[in-house]
Amino acid sequence: MRPLLFLASLCCTAACVISRPEFLEPKWGDAPPPVPSEITEITWDLRTCRTTCAYDRVTLRRGATSWRKFLTAKREDSAFTATVDSAAFAALAAELVRRRFFRGRDGDGAHVPLATRSLVISAATLCRRRAASIDLPGSTSIVGPQPYTAIDSVIHTIAWTRCCWID
C-alpha cells in the first residue's frame, strides 16, 4: 500500500513540476530606474540582413561568465566566452541609467521588421527586465542619448576566448 501511495504522490508532484509555467519577468512599465548596482545582465542582439540574416548576440553578466555568439541564418558560426571586469560592468550599468535606458515605451525587444540592421538591447535586475528595439542609427523607443555606443565599446574591449558550447 505504501509503495503505491508513494508512486502516486511522485507522479502528481512530477505533473505539477512539468506543467508549471515559466516565470516571466514583468515589464519595466512606470517603475523607477534601478540603481546601477542592481543591474545583473545586459544583452545585445544585432541583426544584419542582406540575402540572409547574420546575428551578433552578446550577454554580459555581473559576476559570471559572459558569452558572445555569431549566427548566420540561425546556424551558429562561432561562440566565445569572457569574464567582464566588475568595474567595467558597473560603469556600463551606470551609463545605461544615465542615458535613460529605463524610460520610454516598454517593448518586447523584437527586431524591427524588414530593417537591414536592427538592434535589441535589454538590461535586467534580479526581478525585472527592460528591452528596447533600436532601428539604427536612431531610435524612437529610448528617450535621450542612445546606449548602444557604450555597450559596443565595452564589447570590443573584452578579451573573448573561443569556446565550443554556450549555456
Asked whether residue 134 is domain-assigned, the answer is yes
Asked whether residue 98 is domain-assigned, the answer is yes
Asked whether residue 18 is domain-assigned, the answer is no
Asked whether residue 87 is domain-assigned, the answer is yes
CATH number at residue 147: 3.30.1560
Asked whether residue 6 is domain-assigned, the answer is no
Distance from C-alpha of 118 to C-alpha of 25, rounded to nearest angstrom: 23
Distance from C-alpha of 122 to C-alpha of 59, rounded to nearest angstrom: 9
3-class DSSP state for residue 119?
strand
| Owning domain of residue 154 | 34-163
Q: What are phi and psi of 165, to 5 degrees?
A: -145, 160
Distance from C-alpha of 48 to C-alpha of 37, rounded to nearest angstrom: 32
Q: Which is nearest to 60 in space by CA: 35, 91, 31? A: 91
Asked whether residue 15 is domain-assigned, the answer is no
Residue length of the chain? 167
Asked whether residue 138 is domain-assigned, the answer is yes
> Whole-model pTM?
0.76
Distance from C-alpha of 18 to C-alpha of 136, rounded to nearest angstrom: 41
Strands 129-134 and 41-49, how do they pair? unpaired
Asked whether residue 148 is domain-assigned, the answer is yes
The pLDDT of residue 1 is 55
**pLDDT tens for the chain, residues 1 to 167:** 555 555 555 555 555 455 556 666 677 878 889 999 999 999 999 999 988 999 999 999 988 889 999 999 878 889 999 998 888 899 999 999 998 888 877 666 778 777 888 889 899 998 888 888 876 665 445 545 577 888 888 898 889 999 865 54
Domain count, the chain: 1
